[in-house]
Every structure is written in structure tokens, then in C-alpha cells.
Amino acid sequence: QDFVKKRGYKWKKLSEFPGDRPLPLVGNGLDIGFDADEASFRLIKMWEKHGKQNFRLSVGSEDWLMLCEPEDIKVLLNDNFELSKPLERNAAMKPFFGYSVSTSEGERWKSVRKLMTPSFHFKALDRAADDFGKHTQTLFELIDSYEGKSPVNIYTYLKPYMLDMLSVNLFGVEKNYLKNRDHPYIKSSSKMIKIITYNYFSYWRNNSYLVRFTPLHTEMQNIIRDVKQNSSDIITQRRKILNKMIEETKSNNKNIDLNYDTFIEDKLAGGCLLDRFILSVSPNGDPEKDAIINEEITLTLFTGHLTTSMTMCNAMYLMSLYPEVQQKVLDEQKAIFGKDLNRQATTQDLNDMKYLEALIKETIRFIPTIPRIGRQLQKDLKLSDGRVAPAGTSVIVFFNAAARNPRTYTEPEKFMPERFFDTTMHPFAFVPFSAGPRNCVAFRYAWIVLKATLSNIIRRYEILPGPEPKFAFRLITESTNGLHLHYKKRDICA
Ligand code: HEM
């Protein structure tokens, strides 16, 4: 039936894009194969085979249009109506994150997005920068203990470091994952992205009966239990702190009815993200349910720590491979900090780190932290050359391909941070945080964390290469064998 349908209008429109002929039922699923980690490499091969341009494929009954042209990426992401995420992505993520902001649509998405946004404004972020010093010190102590020994698998430290940062900055609790690296959340969350990616590429995923008999199902249920428990612990911990603050404020202002909005703004100086959730009310006026807050915390903690820690690890890996680039990053740090190389960076210092910024951008271009994002079209979408992506298609921004597009980048295979000083670059050539109404809500926070942490590390250590990583372009890119690097303390900090 699908095959017949494809002969109709949708297929007519889609067939104007290059791509292989889909088979009934499986589409081009067999070309993608059964190994989710291999699937992305096969997609890159397909892009090359079809002339390094936008191309189409079908996965089971789902039609995908893979974009690599900046003008078309602009059309898609700037569309204020097309805000739905692709079905296959949502199906893969829902078991873990429910209808959190990253998956939901309509009223729930709008209200949560509105609630989250102030936590990522400059005013709230200035305070976050103050928390970096303490956790960086613990990170340094751990890396120092490796001096002269085997290379460090930097994932082991950067992931818990970022979990600690997010817990303090966004949830207002000290969790100390870095000192407690056997925590069940760390073990469970490290397996999640592989399973999510497996779900994403499985075209049998919509058959829940079949899925229940796949080997990953039990493992998935255990992981979901652990990550949700972790979020519950965070919520309980913060609720206690918050209740104490509310009680104290009430007893100091006995006859005043507490207005939570004013309380957040004044007493909590903008409040942390979790406070906003705990004190928020649902549309019927009741306090927001813990199950809903849990979904949002689970999503934010997971994507927040993995995207940032992987980007930082990749930046360190690439600096180890290109010592001349590492030297330029260090020179800039020396110019900013002068003799006082151990002090914490101010917001102004972070703004001045232009070469470090270019290095981070080139890192994300070279090894895209998020390989694909997309939209499930509600209506036909006209692309820049007049061709139409028909309603129902999953239109995917294929970052792996966009980053290697020869019409966008000269010598795309070359690692060259300086390319980001070119002011003539298309504004949608490089949109790693997405763009438009559904962009990354936390991109400013991400930039501060990335710059502040890498600045601290590079001022203290020379980074040298270790065994080759094996990158897999999962829903978030990671190396399947970790990322092992040598860290040598610089004389300046000895
Ligand atoms: C290097 C770091 C990061 C990168 C490259 C990144 C990238 C992205 C991208 C591409 C999207 C759009 C996803 C899609 O359309 O499918 C997104 C959305 C999102 N990101 Fe980030 N992100 C980063 C860090 C963070 C951090 C640190 C947090 C939280 C603390 C965060 C929270 C979110 C949320 C909640 C959304 C969903 C927004 C919505 O759908 O309205 N991200 N991010």
C-alpha cells in the first residue's frame, strides 16, 4: 500500500531529489543496515554517491530528505509553522524523556520553553561563571594524579564535571558526581545515546510488540529507572532547600502573601531553572506535577552534559593532533591573562577569546556534536531552487554533510579554525545550535561553559594525543572507545 502511495503526489515530489529507489516495506532500510553506529557512515556515503547535494531516502514507511545547502537549511529552520520534530526521533527519545520540551509540541512546548528561557539570559549566566572555579579544581586534582602515567580517558572526568556544573547552575544542588564516578546515573546515562540511536534507525520501532522482544528492551527499562530516580533525587533535594527559603521569607514578612514570580526575581536573583519548574503552575492552576518536572530535568541533564562534554573532549583531541593550533589558543590566553594565568575568567575575558571561539566552531564543524536535526513537515515546503518537500516528509539538516559541503567551505577536509574569521560565510552555513524559534534554548550557557572550561584546561596543561578514538555519529556524537589523551602540566602552573 505504501509502495502504491509513493507513486502518488508525495513520491512525484520526492523523486525530483536524487536518491536510490526504495523497496516496499523496508524502503532503503537495507542500505542503512542493522548497525546503528554504522548507519551514519552509510548516510555519508549515500550523500557522496548522489553528488554531495540534498538527497532523499526512505526508512520503512518514513521519507527523509537530507539537507546540506545553507539556503535550504535557512528555509526549514526559519519557518515559524514547521516546528514538529521528526517522528523517528521522537519515537527514539520518548521512552526516556517523555513529552519534554525537546519532543513536545503546541501548548506544552510553548509554556515550558517560556519558563526555561530566563534561566539562560545573561543576568542568570553571570552567576554560573562563579561556580566554575570550585569544580575545575576537583577536575585538575584528578587529571594531575595521572601525570606521567597512562593517557587519561577524558570522558571519565568531563562527563561528571558537566553533571556537577548543571546540577549547581541549573538545579541549585551540589551532587558531586566527579567525586562519585560510580554513581548509577553515570553508568546508566553512558549507555543511553547508543540505545536512542538504535531506536532511531530501526524501522520496526513502531511495532511495540516486536520491540518488547528485542534484547535491548530490558536494558532500556533499567536505564530509564535509574535516570528517572536521579532526577527525582535532584527535585527532592532542591525542594527541601527551596521550602526552607520560602519559610524563612514568610516568617520575615508575616502578613504578606508570597508572590512566587517576585520571589524568584528578588529573593533568588533570577532563580535557577529547577526553581522555576517547582514553583510553576499547570494550566488548571495546580502546582506542576513531579512527573512532568522529572521529564524536563531528565532531558536537560542528559543533553546538557553530553553535548558540552563531548564538544570539549573533541576540542582537546583536535588540539592534541594540531599542536600549532593549540599554541595559538595558548598565546591568546597568555595575552588575556598576562602573568596571572591561574585566575578565573571574567565575562569580558570570555568575550575576548576569539581564537578559542573559532577553535570550538571548527571542532563542531569537523566532528559535529549533533549530526542531524529535523522537522516533520505539516505542509509542503518550497526549497530555495523551487523544488518542494511534500507534507509528511522528515526534512533533516544533515550536519555531517553540511560541514563537508564543497560549495560552502574551501578545503573542507582541512582543520582550520581561521576559516571562522571569514565574515562572508553564509549565516546558515554553520548552525550547530539550530536556529529560528526552536533553536537550542541553552546556547549562551553552552558557550560560557565551553570557553571557561577549555580556557582553564589549556592554561594548565599541554595536551598530547593518545590512542585513536572511534567516533560514532549517534544522536549525539561520541567515541565508542572513549577519548584517551596525555596531559602534561605546563611549567607555568608547576
Ligand atoms: C555544545 C553544546 C550544545 C549543542 C551543540 C546543542 C545543540 C542543540 C540543537 C542542534 C538543538 C535542536 C535540536 C533539534 O532540533 O532536534 C538543541 C535543542 C535543545 N537544547 Fe541544546 N545544545 C547544546 C547544549 C545544550 C545545553 C547545555 C542544554 C541545557 C542545559 C541544552 C538544552 C537544549 C534543549 C532543552 C533543547 C530543546 C529546545 C526546543 O526544542 O525548544 N543544550 N540543542
**The predicted structure's pLDDT at residue 123:** 67
Ligand 1 mean position, distance from CA 22 (Å): 32
- Is there an atom of ligand 1 within 6 Å of 300 CB? yes
Ligand 1 mean position, distance from CA 177 (Å): 22
For 379-409, what is each residue's pLDDT tens digit? 999 999 999 999 999 999 999 999 999 999 9
450 or 24: which leads in pLDDT: 450
Position 404: which residue type? R
Dist. CA 323–CA 366, nearest whole Å = 16
Dist. CA 44–CA 59, nearest whole Å = 15
Q: What is the CA radius of gyration of the chain?
A: 23
Which atom from ligand 1 is nearest to the alpha carbon of 299? 35
* Closest-CA residue to 104 (of 112, 92, 116): 112
Burial of 450 from C-beta contacts in 10 A (0-12 / 13-18 / 19+): buried
- Is there an atom of ligand 1 within 6 Å of 108 CB? no
Dist. CA 129–CA 441, nearest whole Å = 18
Write the ipTM: 0.99
Dist. CA 258–CA 239, nearest whole Å = 17
Ligand 1 mean position, distance from CA 71 (Å): 22
**The predicted structure's pLDDT at residue 493:** 59
267 DSSP assignment:
I
Helix, strand, coil share of the chain (percent; to 5): 55, 10, 35
Q: How large a percentage of the chain has pLDDT more than 70?
A: 90
Beta strands in 19-173 (DSSP E): 55-59, 62-67, 152-153
pTM for the whole structure: 0.94
Residue 1 reports pLDDT greater than 60: no
Q: Specify whether the CB–CB gap between 149 and 469 falls below 8 A.
A: no
**The predicted structure's pLDDT at residue 110:** 94
Residue 256 reports pLDDT greater than 60: yes
**Which of 440, 445, 448 has most ligand 1 atoms within 8 Å of its beta carbon, as the pocket-test mutant?**
440
For 264-281, what is each residue's pLDDT tens digit? 666 666 568 999 999 888
Q: Which residues are within 8 A (CB) of 12 and not within 5 positions of it... i.e. 6 or more apart?
A: none
Which residue has the CA at smallest separation from atom 25 of ligand 1?
Answer: 304
237 or 258: which leads in pLDDT: 237
**The predicted structure's pLDDT at residue 265:** 66
User: How many Cα neighbours within 13 Å face the side chain of 390?
Assistant: 15
For 46-75, what is each residue's pLDDT tens digit? 999 999 999 999 988 889 999 999 999 999
For 429-442, what is each residue's pLDDT tens digit? 999 999 999 999 99
Strands 62-67 and 394-398, sheet pairing: parallel
- Is there an atom of ligand 1 within 6 Å of 459 CB? no
Q: Which band of pLDDT confidence, cut at 50, 70 and 90, is reported for residue 33?
A: confident
DSSP H helical segments within 322-442, as ranges? 323-337, 347-352, 354-366, 399-402
Which atom from ligand 1 is nearest to the alpha carbon of 369? 5
Average pLDDT of 303-309?
97
Dist. CA 364–CA 121, nearest whole Å = 23
Q: Specify whether the CB–CB gap between 118 and 276 falls below 8 A.
A: yes
| β-bridge mates for residue 117, sequence order | none
Helix (H) or strand (E) holding 128: helix 122-144
487 DSSP assignment:
E
CA angle 60, 2, 76 (to 5 degrees): 65
Backbone φ and ψ of 59, nearest 5°:
-120, 105
Average pLDDT of 448-469?
96
- Is there an atom of ligand 1 within 6 Å of 104 CB? no
- Is there an atom of ligand 1 within 6 Å of 363 CB? no
404 DSSP assignment:
T
Q: Specify whether the CB–CB gap between 171 and 145 falls below 8 A.
A: no
- Is there an atom of ligand 1 within 6 Å of 84 CB? no
Dist. CA 277–CA 298, nearest whole Å = 13
Dist. CA 311–CA 478, nearest whole Å = 9
Average pLDDT, the chain: 90
Dist. CA 306–CA 190, nearest whole Å = 9
- Is there an atom of ligand 1 within 6 Å of 102 CB? yes
- Is there an atom of ligand 1 within 6 Å of 112 CB? no
Backbone φ and ψ of 74, nearest 5°:
-60, -45
Ligand 1 mean position, distance from CA 442 (Å): 6
Which residue has the CA at smallest separation from atom 11 of ligand 1?
Answer: 440
Q: Which band of pLDDT confidence, cut at 50, 70 and 90, is reported for residue 179?
A: very high
Handedness of CA 199, 203, 205, 209 (dihedral sign): negative
Residue 363 reports pLDDT greater than 60: yes
Q: Specify whether the CB–CB gap between 46 and 54 falls below 8 A.
A: no
Which residue has the CA at smallest separation from atom 20 of ligand 1?
Answer: 440
248 or 161: which leads in pLDDT: 161
Ligand 1 mean position, distance from CA 438 (Å): 9
Q: Which residues are within 8 A (CB) of 23 and not within 5 positions of it... i.e. 6 or more apart?
A: 29, 30
Q: Which band of pLDDT confidence, cut at 50, 70 and 90, is reported for residue 207?
A: low
Q: Specify whether the CB–CB gap between 246 and 264 falls below 8 A.
A: no
Which residue has the CA at smallest separation from atom 43 of ligand 1?
Answer: 440
The answer to the question of whether 440 is labelled as a binding residue is yes
Position 255: which residue type? N
Dist. CA 206–CA 187, nearest whole Å = 28
End-to-end CA gap in the chain:
70
Which residue has the CA at smallest separation from atom 14 of ligand 1?
Answer: 373
Strands 372-376 and 394-398, sheet pairing: antiparallel
**Length of the chain as a residue count:** 494
- Is there an atom of ligand 1 within 6 Å of 42 CB? no
Ligand 1 mean position, distance from CA 153 (Å): 25
